[in-house]
Amino acid sequence: MSLSHTLSNAVGGLTAASRLAEVVSSNVSNAMTDGYGRRQLDLNAASIGGRGAGVQIGGVTRVVDKGLIGDRRLADAAAAGAQAGVDMQAKLEKIVGAPGQADALASRVTALEQSLVDAATDPASPLRLNAVLTRAQDLAGALNTASDNVQTLRAKADSDIALQVDQLNTALERIERLNGDITDSFTAGADPSGLMDQRQKIVDQISGIVPIRELARPDGRIALMTPDGEMLVDGPAKRFAFTPTPVITADMTHAGGGLVGISVDGQAIAPDGLGKLAGGSLGAAFTARDDTLAAAQDKLDSAAAHLIERMQDASVDPTLGPTDAGLFTDAGSRLDPTNTTGLAGRIEVNAAVDTARGGDTWRLRDGLRASAPGAAGDSSLLLATGAALSTGQSLGAEGPARSLAGHFADIQSDIGQARLQADEDLGFANARQAALSEAEAATGVDTDHEMQTLLRVEQAYAANARLVQTVETMLDRLMEL
């Protein structure tokens, strides 16, 4: 081998060692950077005319475990959806109250029953009759507030859908642009690893909104689709649309046309408004708006209807006619069994006993339709009213017989159990996400390995530098001849 070839090989070795040191330093400095993929320099033996020609620098490879990242992203979606579910269930439990709380619905029924017992011991006492009125108003007001809060949560879920759709569109547009930049970088022979890092972070953000799978395309591009087959980006990004509903009432549903779903190019993507985008925090928002909270409203309405029905029975108050409303009313009217949607928000105490609206509390003792006060010591109607609340009856055609307080306690218990189940689901989702994130981190930058590589780089650089020095010495000797 000639001295010129020897010098060329040594200079190539110095160049490769310098480039490798640059890659190692990039790995070490980004060891804690989210979305960073470990770099690996590709080196190959070069040859010219069958003769060794030193080392050839191939390029920089971004090393990631795509299968593990894909599984972790699905776990991200599950964890985000589970967290949203827990948050919603906790708010719902706060609305109806936990068992034993003084402001819980069941506790308010119990307080009304106790006020009736107290009034029955002294029917002539205006203070005790006023206490019955206050407890009845507290119960009706609690139902009104609970209904309003449920609809507020539905409106919040609806606005969350709009926000997440906007975030999804923005992220998909960025993926589309980065795909183009990465393709241009490949074409120009540059290293696109930094652009790929940015793209991975954005894809990770999307995975919290909807579950996704990444599909490799030529020239470094990727396509994204949901596990159920909805394509999000493959070349041009899809543009999703959603129009929020600022105010939501109990009678408004997606199935009934009162609420909208997600659309693409003006067309609904599925009858349920979500379709193949189910999962993640976006799916959790739809579930809250259209299922969980709507079901909670139905339970409140059913319990409110049962309360009104118990109180308008003529066997409880003989002064009531077939069209007269009882102690509790549907906005002043008798219960209409065909119109109970949103009833918990309309229930109120009969104006006949409400002193603030021209009523008289003595009607609690003598009858809502009584023409004049009766015997001040007659407690029969107060006892009958209390018995109507405490008697076990079924809520609807089926189900166990419960007192009114028991039915409200069942609602609280169901919501509490749902919250506990949501907590368990979240714990499992978080544990799985943490395990996969830890496994992914293990495939990232190993600083110990990088430091060992750096030592070898130092040795290789020193050896090639020594070789250059030796060639220089040999050339000097030749010049002296």
Map residue 103 onto helix, strand or coil.
coil
Residue 106 CA to residue 413 CA, distance in Å, equals 10
* pLDDT for residue 166 is more than 80: yes
Q: Judging by beta carbons within 10 Å of its beta carbon (0-12, 13-18, 19+), is residue 15 exposed, middle or buried?
A: middle
Q: Are 244 and 251 in contact (CB under 8 A)?
A: no
Residue 221 CA to residue 372 CA, distance in Å, equals 85
294-306: pLDDT as tens digits: 999 999 999 999 9
Rg (CA), the chain: 37
* pLDDT for residue 117 is more than 90: yes
Least confident of 19-23, 221-225, 424-428: 19-23
Top pLDDT among 50 and 116 is at: 116
Residue 393: phi, psi to the nearest 5?
-140, 155
Maximum average pLDDT range among 31-45, 144-158, 250-264, 398-412: 144-158
In the block, residue with structure tokens 């009313």? 329
User: What pTM did the predictor assign?
Assistant: 0.86
Top pLDDT among 437 and 362 is at: 362
SS3 for 40-101 is: EEEEEEEEECCEEEEEEEEEEEEECCHHHHHHHHHHHHHHHHHHHHHHHHHHHHHHHCCCCC
In the block, residue with structure tokens 């229930």? 347
Here the tokens at position 283 are 């799916």
Q: What are the distances in angstroms from CA 18 to CA 63, 130, 165?
A: 20, 90, 47
- Extract long-range pairs of 329-338: CB within 8 Å, 24+ residues apart: 334/308, 335/305, 335/308, 335/309, 337/305
- Sequence-separated (6 or more) residues with CB below 8 Å from residue 90: 419
pLDDT for 272: 79
Q: Per DSSP, what are the bridge partners of residue 393?
A: 402
DSSP 279: S
Here the tokens at position 52 are 């060794």
pLDDT for 140: 96
The rounded percent of the chain whose pLDDT value lies above 90 is 62
Map residue 264 onto helix, strand or coil.
strand
In the block, residue with structure tokens 């940015």? 198
- pLDDT category at 50 given cuts 50, 70, 90 is low
Q: What amino acid is encoded at 352 in this protein? A: A
* pLDDT for residue 385 is more than 90: yes
* pLDDT for residue 206 is more than 90: yes
Residue 217 CA to residue 235 CA, distance in Å, equals 10
339-357: pLDDT as tens digits: 999 999 999 999 999 999 9
Residue 375 CA to residue 382 CA, distance in Å, equals 13
In the block, residue with structure tokens 């989702």? 429
* pLDDT for residue 3 is more than 80: no
Residues written for the chain: 481
168-192: pLDDT as tens digits: 999 999 999 999 999 999 888 888 8
pLDDT averaged over the chain?
Answer: 89
Residue 164 CA to residue 241 CA, distance in Å, equals 11
Q: In which element (H, E) is residue 19 found?
A: helix 3-29
- Sequence-separated (6 or more) residues with CB below 8 Å from residue 203: 73, 171, 175, 212, 214, 222, 224
* pLDDT for residue 476 is more than 90: no
Q: Judging by beta carbons within 10 Å of its beta carbon (0-12, 13-18, 19+), is residue 114 exposed, middle or buried?
A: middle
DSSP 401: E
DSSP 277: G
Residue 111 CA to residue 310 CA, distance in Å, equals 17
Per-residue pLDDT, averaged over 11-38, amounts to 80
- pLDDT category at 19 given cuts 50, 70, 90 is confident
Q: Are 126 and 326 in contact (CB under 8 A)?
A: no
- pLDDT category at 54 given cuts 50, 70, 90 is confident
Q: Are 103 and 432 in contact (CB under 8 A)?
A: no
Per-residue pLDDT, averaged over 394-417, amounts to 86
Residue 408 CA to residue 405 CA, distance in Å, equals 5
- Nearest CA to 17 out of 469, 479, 465, 475 is that of 465
- pLDDT category at 446 given cuts 50, 70, 90 is confident
Q: Judging by beta carbons within 10 Å of its beta carbon (0-12, 13-18, 19+), is residue 440 exposed, middle or buried?
A: middle
Residue 211 CA to residue 280 CA, distance in Å, equals 6
Q: Judging by beta carbons within 10 Å of its beta carbon (0-12, 13-18, 19+), is residue 102 exposed, middle or buried?
A: exposed
pLDDT for 326: 94
Tell me how far the alpha carbon of residue 373 is from its chain's centroid. Answer: 57
The rounded percent of the chain whose pLDDT value lies above 70 is 98
* pLDDT for residue 151 is more than 90: yes
The end-to-end CA distance of the chain, in Å, is: 21
Other Cβ atoms less than 10 A from the Cβ of 206: the count is 24
Residue 348 CA to residue 335 CA, distance in Å, equals 12
Q: Judging by beta carbons within 10 Å of its beta carbon (0-12, 13-18, 19+), is residue 208 exposed, middle or buried?
A: buried
DSSP 154: H
pLDDT for 150: 96
